[in-house]
Amino acid sequence: MAAFSLAQVGFVALGLLLFKIVYEIIKSYNFARFAKANGCEKPHNVSGSWPFSIINGWQRLFRFMDIVNNGGDVIEDGFGRLFEHANTVQATQFDGSVEIDTIEPANIQAMLATQFKDFGMGKMRINQFYPILGNSIFSSDGSDWEHSRSLFRPQFNREQINDMEETEQAAQQLINALGPTDSTGWTKGTELLPLLYNFTLDTATAFLFGESVNSQAINTSPQHHTNPQETSQAKQFMADFELASEYMMHRIRGQSLYWLADGLPFRRAVRRIRAFTEHFVQRVLDPAAREKAAATTSKKYNLLAALATETQDRTELRNQTLAILIAGRDTTAGLLGWSFERLALHPDVFDKLRAAILRDFPPGGEPITFAKLKACRYLQHFLNEVLRLHPNVPINNRTTTRPTTLPVGGGPTQTSPIALPANRTVTFSVYLLHRRTDLWGPDALDFRPERWGEGKIPAWQFLPFSGGPRICLGQQFALTEAGYVLVRMLQRFEGVEGVGGGERLRKGIGLTMWPAEGVRVRFRRAGGGE
């Protein structure tokens, strides 16, 4: 076959180029008509003044890096600066793409609820999670997500999360891990955060697999753990889970360059995490193994067994359970971490919360239940206030699935709708939304649980668990676990105090948000020494 001449290749390339140009012109003409028909105006542009948008994106990235290197706060000093003049803005990213950033309740409500079908997680986010979660509730859109959500819907009801046996055991292990008190009644100064991560890993694995990985016991009193094979498998799982979470964090931070955060250690960790989970999947699918396990575990319910009545697809069962573990473990530990940070900083709140707890849950009284935790008003107000100032998912995004609009943010008064083409990312920050003084009042930055008893908070102003059809599935589970620990801890201890220096409320941000300096505290046992 005769080779193509250079002229022929050039001709075809030129043809393709012309086609692309005409295609783009028609597309932008149609988009302009769409915008006009919907009365849209452009949002405030904070991209920068360089002629090539990618330079503006790089400039913004360097500014962010500078803030981080100088000990600044990425959300407040970096992302927050975008909103100095408007609550919805347009900015250029370091890869040259344009995105919309917003802290406006009406726009967030549109994305998450009223125009739900126009916004998805987007391919990038799905790819970021894919190596570990495959196709799961957390890493899917459209009909795949609908399938996952319907699979889970019956599993997070009141009865399942009211089964507190494992929570009680894990709470006692947490208290034991603090060690003895001295003659004045104080425990030693402890770094509490790792103990909270152990607590949530243990309760989450008990809920998912019907069996806790016992990380608290293994980490704090290994001598009491007698099965060496079980111990080493659980330790490996914990180490792999930490490593995989770190890679996931880099994949999310890397945005479209997520694929750079990959490699053999990550893939090996994922392989082992999957194998560990598959062992439990195998157990629920194999009737003989199921019977044997039922004889050795006391847990009445486990999520995996319940899911196995709906599907017997091993890969699906594995991916979905791992998604729940990733969604639920660090977030709940973060909520508890921030709770104890706040209690150490505000002794008056500690005393008030303890009084409410002792009134509703006198030590030695009836078991703690879901309903009783919900009915303890000051406990709920306290948790809300922690979630308001320290939402565990501080920044999130959605990508448009087709040309659409956001209701506000356009034009000089920012009250006109904004037009968005297909595939446009909209980033929103509930962290900044929760701190807006025009919405929450001049004391928005103060930690004041009492505000929750002073009137109704508009629904789309407080979104720690997101909203709309993709609202957090584990909200009640997380609040129950956190409430339970607070009750048991405040029954046992009458005081908490921060120990060591450092900036107590500095945040670490990865997949979730946690106290970056840890939670270094000591507790005073109720009733004094020994």
Interacting residue ranges for ligand HEM, rule: CB under 6 A: 137-138, 149, 323-324, 327-328, 331-332, 335, 392-393, 396, 464-466, 470, 472-474, 477-478
Residue 472 labelled as part of a binding site: yes
Shortest Å distance, C-beta 528 to ligand HEM:
34
Q: Tell me which residue has tokens 């030693």.
A: 188
Name the closest residue to ligand HEM (Cβ): 474
β-pairing, 98-102 with 493-498? unpaired
Q: Which two tokens stand for residue 31?
A: 């988009």
Sheet holding 493-498, edge to edge: 190-191, 520-525, 493-498
Shortest Å distance, C-beta 3 to ligand HEM:
52
Q: How far apart are alpha carbons 471 and 463 in whole angstroms?
A: 9
Q: Which helix (H) or strand (E) holds 272?
A: helix 264-285
β-pairing, 404-410 with 416-420? antiparallel
User: Smallest Cα–Cα separation from 392: which of 381, 383, 400, 401?
Assistant: 383
Shortest Å distance, C-beta 325 to ligand HEM:
8
- If the CB atoms of residues 63 and 147 are measured against ligand HEM, the closer one turns out to be 147
Q: How far apart are alpha carbons 55 and 318 in whole angstroms?
A: 43
- Going by the DSSP 8-state scheme, the letter that residue 434 receives in this structure is T
Q: Which two tokens stand for residue 304?
A: 């995996």
- If the CB atoms of residues 396 and 404 are measured against ligand HEM, the closer one turns out to be 396
Mutual orientation of helices 192-209 and 314-345 as an angle, nearest 10°? Answer: 150
Q: Which two tokens stand for residue 70?
A: 């100088």
DSSP codes, 23-72: HHHHHHHHHHHHHHHTT--PBEE-S-S-SSHHHHHHHHHHHHHHHHHTT-
Shortest Å distance, C-beta 515 to ligand HEM:
14
- If the CB atoms of residues 46 and 284 are measured against ligand HEM, the closer one turns out to be 284
- If the CB atoms of residues 40 and 249 are measured against ligand HEM, the closer one turns out to be 249
Shortest Å distance, C-beta 479 to ligand HEM:
7
- If the CB atoms of residues 451 and 470 are measured against ligand HEM, the closer one turns out to be 470
- If the CB atoms of residues 332 and 491 are measured against ligand HEM, the closer one turns out to be 332
- If the CB atoms of residues 181 and 319 are measured against ligand HEM, the closer one turns out to be 319
Tell me the binding residues.
472
Tell me the binding residues for heme.
472
